[in-house]
Amino acid sequence: MNSTQDDLIHYLLLLGDSALIQGQRLCEWCGKAPAIEEELALMNVGLDLVGQARNWLDYAAELLADGRDADDLAFRRDERAYRNLLLVEQPNGDFAVTMAKQFLFDAWHLQVLKGLCDSTDLRIAGIAAKALKEVTYHLRRSSEWVQRLGGGTDESRRRMLAAITQVWRFTVELASGSEAETRLAAAGIGADPAQVGAAWLHQVEVTFASVELSLPPAASHFYLSGRTGMHTEHLGILLAEMQFLPRAYPDATW
């Protein structure tokens, strides 16, 4: 396996794992959402992300060529082998926390996909173009909820401010990328992490300013890193639930 292929596998796992874990978190709202319309919307966004995750993990499995498929990568890896962003593994909290997390992730996700649509890897460009249509809607929806809650009642504004404070430290991974991502961008394969980070921050600034939410100081270096498999305690708990049935019944089929 050459260095470029190794970088690409890690990149595909970053994309696939982040989409999968964010989708899993959203699906935890099933039966608990504040309104039936919101429950349906949350489930639809979650299912979009799970579908995108399958596409990225299918490609990663093909490059790994070790006999595993996308299901194996999703359900039979331990937390240290996951490469998702730390932000998406954080608990849902209340609705404000969920929408703050979703918005911050969507703003990053959209910029990554825009960059990947021009990838010289046609497989990546095709997956990104399809996902971009879905994520454009995801961002519109989550940004509107940030504005509604942030510019609504005193209570909704208080909750949104508290939510932003709670999850902001994890945005350090959204504002910058890894050396592998920079190499892939230089090769024309991946999205430029510097451009993604700048565009992400601009989107956040504009949305926050529209309802007079203050932008927190830039998140500083964090001792954990989802890109290298160093996760918070929350991912292991999430995986224990998500992976239970496939691990308990490994030979089961639909």
Cα 120 to Cα 117, 136, 189, 210, 239, distances in angstroms: 9, 22, 5, 37, 34
Q: Kindly indicate the confidence band of residue 220, based on its pLDDT and cuts at 50, 70 and 90.
A: confident
Q: Strand, coil or helix: what is 117?
A: coil
> What residues contact 223, with CB distance under 8 A and at least 6 apart?
230
Q: Kindly indicate the confidence band of residue 47, based on its pLDDT and cuts at 50, 70 and 90.
A: very high
- For residue 179, give the nearest of 6, 2, 1 by alpha carbon: 6
Query: Amino acid identity, residue 128?
Result: A
Query: Amino acid identity, residue 254?
Result: W
Q: Kindly indicate the confidence band of residue 219, based on its pLDDT and cuts at 50, 70 and 90.
A: confident
| pLDDT tens-place string over residues 111-158 | 999 999 999 999 999 999 999 999 999 999 999 999 999 999 999 999
Average pLDDT (177-193) is 96
| pLDDT tens-place string over residues 63-77 | 999 999 999 999 999
Calculate helix-pair angle for 95-116, 193-210, nearest 10 degrees: 140
Q: Are 230 and 85 in contact (CB under 8 A)?
A: no
Q: Tell me the whole-structure pTM to 2 decimals.
A: 0.95
Tokens (6 digits) for 26:
């959203």
Q: Kindly indicate the confidence band of residue 250, based on its pLDDT and cuts at 50, 70 and 90.
A: confident
pLDDT at position 254 is 67
Pick among 3.40.50.300, 2.40.280.10, 1.10.1040.10, 1.20.1260.10: CATH of 3-248: 1.20.1260.10
pLDDT at position 1 is 58
Question: Any idea which residue has 């309104």 for tokens?
Answer: 35
Cα 130 to the center of its chain, rounded Å: 16
Q: Kindly indicate the confidence band of residue 38, based on its pLDDT and cuts at 50, 70 and 90.
A: confident
Domain boundaries, the chain: 3-248
* Greater model confidence, 33 or 241: 241
CB atoms within 10 A of CB 80: 12
